Structure 1
Amino acid sequence: MINKVLCVLCVVLSQTAWTQNEERIIISGKIVSNTNDLEGVYVVNAQTEVMTTTNAEGAFSILAKAGDELVFSSIQFKEKRVLVTPENFSELNFIVKLNIVMHQLQEVIIRRYDNINAVALGIIPAGQKTYTEAERKLHTVTALNATASTSSLAGGSISADPLLNFLSGRTAMLKKEVAVEKKEFFMKLLEKMFSLDHFVNRLKIPNEYVKGFEYYAVENDKFTTILNSKNKTSTEFLLGELAVKYKEILAVENK
Structure 2
Amino acid sequence: MQEIVVSNETVLNKAVLVKLNEQVNQLDTVIVGKILTGDLLSDIKNTKGDRPLNFFDVGIPGYTGRIATINERQLSEASGFNPGLGSSGYGLGASVGFTPIINAISGRTKMLKRRVKIEQKDGLMHSIKSRLGKDFFASNPLDEDKQMDFFYFCSDDANFIKYCKNQNDFKVLVFLRMKYKQYLENIKP
- The RMSD of aligned alpha carbons is 3.9
1:182 paired with 2:115, answer: no
Task: Give distance in 2, aligned partners of 1:156 and 1:182.
Answer: 31
- Deviation string, structure 1 residues 202-232 (Cα, Å, up to 9, x no partner): 2233332211110121233533344332511
Please identify which structure carries the higher helix content: 2
Cα pair 2:136 2:173 within 8 Å, conserved: no
Amino acid at match of 1:229: N
Task: Give distance in 1, aligned partners of 2:67 and 2:112.
Answer: 17
Equivalent residue for 1:160, pick from 91, 98, 111: 98
Cα pair 2:82 2:94 within 8 Å, conserved: no
Task: Give distance in 2, aligned partners of 1:185 and 1:131.
Answer: 13
Show the counterpart of 2:147: 210
Task: Give distance in 2, aligned partners of 1:110 and 1:228.
Answer: 41
Which one has more relative contact order, counting CA pairs under 8 Å at least 6 apart? Answer: 2
Provide the TM-score with structure 1 as the length reference. Answer: 0.42
Task: Give distance in 2, aligned partners of 1:232 and 1:110.
Answer: 39
Show the counterpart of 1:240: 177
Deviation at 1:185, TM superposition (A): 0.6
Larger radius of gyration: 1
Structure 1 residues not aligned, in runs of 5+: 1-105
Secondary structure of residue in 1 paired with 2:82: coil
Show the counterpart of 1:54: none
Cα pair 1:148 1:159 within 8 Å, conserved: no
- Deviation string, structure 1 residues 146-165 (Cα, Å, up to 9, x no partner): 43589xxxx98432211111
Provide the TM-score with structure 2 as the length reference. Answer: 0.54
After TM superposition, which residue ranges in structure 1, 4 or more long, deviate above 6 angstroms?
none
1:229 paired with 2:169, answer: no
Please identify which structure carries the higher strand content: 1
Deviation at 1:122, TM superposition (A): 7.0
